[in-house]
Amino acid sequence: ASDLTKNSVKLSWKAATDDKGVKNYDVLRDGAKVATVTATTFTDQNLAPGTDYSYSVQARDTVDQTGPVSAPVKVTTPGDGTGPGPGPREKINLGYFTEWGVYGRNYHVKNLVTSGSAEKITHINYSFGNVQGGKCTIGDSFAAYDKAYTAAESVDGVADTWDQPLRGNFNQLRKLKAKYPHIKVLWSFGGWTWSGGFTDAVKNPAAFAKSCHDLVEDPRWADVFDGIDLDWEYPNACGLSCDSSGPAALKNMVQAMRAQFGTDLVTAAITADASSGGKLDAADYAGAAQYFDWYNVMTYDFFGAWDKTGPTAPHSALNSYSGIPKADFHSAAAIAKLKAKGVPASKLLLGIGFYGRGWTGVTQDAPGGTATGPATGTYEAGIEDYKVLKNTCPATGTVGGTAYAKCGSNWWSYDTPATIKTKMAWAKDQGLGGAFFWEFSGDTAGGELVSAMDSGLR
């Protein structure tokens, strides 16, 4: 099921085979035949808003013998705002799901269901695939498609078997999409650690794009993914390593990707550095935008304890404020610069971090204090999940549209449900396409940050 609206849904299925040849297919809605078609797609256009439906298909051969009825696909049409259902959804609410989260973080696809988040998101970016030798490659094959899930751990309560063709996160995402057909999943490649491979890859954009398409559309999991997300940090600029591919490299890459992926989604996570001569000036983001469906603008990590002595500053301010250490290091400046370059507002998503960044050795409550180093974090110094900080270091103030907290000698900045709602209202006022966040496991068990984004975007 795809392209779900309040009155219609598009259905598609794999072709059947038969020794006498397949003639056509019956489409069943709630057990009753609604159409007979020769193609492997059908759009049902006579649905009611806010209603549950179950579809299945059976094939018929040239001598009118019918095959078995397929397993059902269940869909729920969005409400029209006057009856049941969640109401129309015009804005994107996208979350990153980390491949490695299934280990130390013990965060799995099923957590999207138990937290209530699956009902409130529109897209998932599965991160990360690697970029090596000029090609898109698998990141962690065990987590991606081999890890076996028990019935209790699985989205649908069915355990993996030793001989099934696909297990791991990919199979769990397949089950999630069956349960929540409105969700689309993109496979993200690169990221901070694995962006170094883009430099070689973009020397031959067509070959790179073909390798990515071949991997994303591998028959074992082609139905899981609805497109590709490219997290190049950063084109013609420095991240963990430095790239000097030139300002046209990003546009050349995505033009080749679009040729390969056709109407599937092609997106990118991009810098929010709006400073004069900064990263947003290093590549042709406006020219590339015509081929991307949207940009995930990483409007977070502006400041952090890599500056060990401070000054303390919120890592994800929405607006400027008196005393901000760098004038254009805030979300509004990044969005304004991209718009000024000619990127349509509807192709920009505002980024939210589900974590805080912090310092220790701080005596001043307000931003701008000195520090002695990064505060202790569960997985990495200077960074901590929201779900931890909300209890261990509750917010004590707000600045620039985000929150900060002083507890003991530690100083943290992070977004709360209240500041997220402020940011979502701003994103709507700006005409943005929606918002995204990094990443699911930083949220509470009840998904309160996802909920804040969802309600704020409606």
Active-site residues, by number, are 233
Structure-block tokens of residue 292: 């991307």
What are the strands, taking DSSP E only, across 271-399? 294-297, 348-353, 355-360, 373-374, 383-385, 397-399
According to DSSP, the residues that pair with 383 across neighbouring strands are 357, 380
Beta strands in 192-344 (DSSP E): 227-231, 265-270, 294-297
- Closest residue by Cα to residue 436 from 188, 209, 250: 188
Q: Rounded to whole angstroms, how far apart are CA atoms 84 and 274?
A: 43
DSSP for 430-441? TT--EEEEE-GG
Give dist(CA 458, CA 446) in Å, integer: 19
- Hey, is 384 helix, strand or coil? strand
Element (H, E) at 421: helix 417-429
| CB 441, CB 107: distance < 8 Å | yes
- Residue 35 has phi, psi (to 5 degrees) of -165, 155
